[in-house]
Structure 1
Amino acid sequence: MIHPETIKKQRLIILILFSLIILTSVLNLVLGNSILSLDRILPVLMGEGNFNENFILFSIRLPRLIITILAGMALALSGSILQELTRNDLADPGIIGINSGAGFAVALFFLYFPVEAGKFIFLLPLAAFAGALVTAILIYLFSYSSKTGLKPVKLILVGVGFSTALSGAMMVLISSADRAKVEFISRWLAGDIWGTDWPFVLALLPWILILLPSAFYKANSLNILALGNEVSVGVGMKVKKEQGILLLIAVGLAAAAVSVSGGIAFIGLMAPHIAKTLIGKRNQLFIPVAVLTGGWLLLAADTVGRNIFQPEGIAAGIMVAVIGAPYFVYLISNN
């Protein structure tokens, strides 16, 4: 049973995070090369804007805003699941190679499987999922021992190795591609939010709507798995089945997110740690906080990155890495 005071604390933290997301969203909408004043946001949303205001808000900034928040939430939840599954605080879909697997599949699909523009958007998350799943399975197999089970430290090392190898393979792929396609993949590698139209929102949304509730439903299973395989088996859990389902959820969330947001790392590392620090390690408590934290972190990174060094700005993935890389070093030094 969760103490009522803890529940109240969680609700307060969630309210604060919602407030931060709303505040940052407003800044994201009003800042940029094209000016949209703060006092015009509500009128435009209510249908009282002129052509330029409607175009800036509804065609450019609002879909990008929604995609950024959803992608941040998905990456944070994926990282939360992976950390609990592996019992390793350094696990993150970007660090252990899952994002690189998705990116390699995206590059292959983009370069060698031309499809109609309308279908491309919706097939992209599926291609990313296939690449991420194959990579995750290989990492799991190389990190698993029949005697001791999954080795958390080995998983990180194998994942980093796969990530490096796949990044190198992607460079080989694009070395012979034409300039326009190379530019797209370069943006993806930098973690630039490139899927900024409403169809990309529609492509990402079903994955979030299905996998997010599934992860919340499995929160208690994560609590049990965190106690170790022997305890999990002792309470009657089918460990391999549960691990497989949770791994699929984590991979699906990461793949769907990076297929439209680019190769963004560290969100899945930082958000769960921040959430655990705020509310504790029980999954029912920290996962909702981690999800909102991830959404806000990526939104804040995109808002800051897009508005410095204008007009080009800095990719959100680079902004996240500026904070995330030192944080990763800090975690390694304390593990």
Structure 2
Amino acid sequence: MASFNVAAFLFFLGLLFGASFAQLTEDFYDQTCPRLPNIVRREVKRAIESDIRAGAKLIRLHFHDCFVQGCDGSVLLVDAPGIESELNGLGNLGIQGLEIVAAIKAAVERECPGVVSCADILAQASKDSVDVQGGPSWRVLYGRRDSRTANKTGADELPSPFETLEPLKKKFEALGLNSTDLVALSGAHTFGRSRCRFFNGRFSNFSGSGQPDPTLDPTYRQELERACTNEDTRVNFDPTTPDTFDKNYYTNLQANRGLLTSDQSLFSEAGADTVDTVNLLASREGTFLRFFRRSMIKMGNIRPLTGNQGEIRTNCSRLNDLGAQPGHDVM
């Protein structure tokens, strides 16, 4: 009887947690699209060669996909009948890279038509974006399917560059990600750019204080003010090695040179458990890469659609029954 109860309990847990996770496997496409990793990596390298920001664009799309109703490709859907695009959500305003995903998807479709989901392409492209630019590699798990719905309201609630630590932690915790994951995944800001509108409020009258943000290094603030000729100017997240995936994001935080409020809050909020994690990841390159890899795999397994759920989109921006009708691209 005891063994039966244990078995029943494990089955119940499987229904709650394991049904989707267990179906994601490394060998999902071994028979149907064996060259998938090579195709995606080739296209990601090509994109980065023509646009050094391509990798950061792709990984941001993957993050924003997984944080709204799970890793299901919903972030890629444009406005259409019955679809209010997540791209219109406050957290996605200005997000870029749809044309890169479209090029990768087209290359995959030429070899393996109707087989590989856009959600899986985002997961693979994010990994390649990182290791092509000096970061860690990992084995991507596959088997995600693409959502037939979008959630613009969810995109309105994405983690914000203006948020302090506690709201950020709550948003991560709601998805099963802890404060260590928050610090590790924020390390993606070791490459890429941000528009000045997302941090120029730190220059003066910060939070109505009449003064600059005290957690922003004064010399760095002056450099940023000179660089921000208008609010849409883009500035490197990492002023030291802006296009290399390394631990300098964390050493920048230690020097009060985190670009966004959400970045610097990981280190500058007194007594926060994230401070020790920042110090740990700043101490050794290998430590950061190991933690980042682990948290990326964990994030990539947030509520995927599997089995017969959703669909395998032919056009990542459109549901299959809407075909290739033109939608808006976000540039």
Question: Structure 2 length normalisation: TM-score?
Answer: 0.30
Question: Structure 1 length normalisation: TM-score?
Answer: 0.29
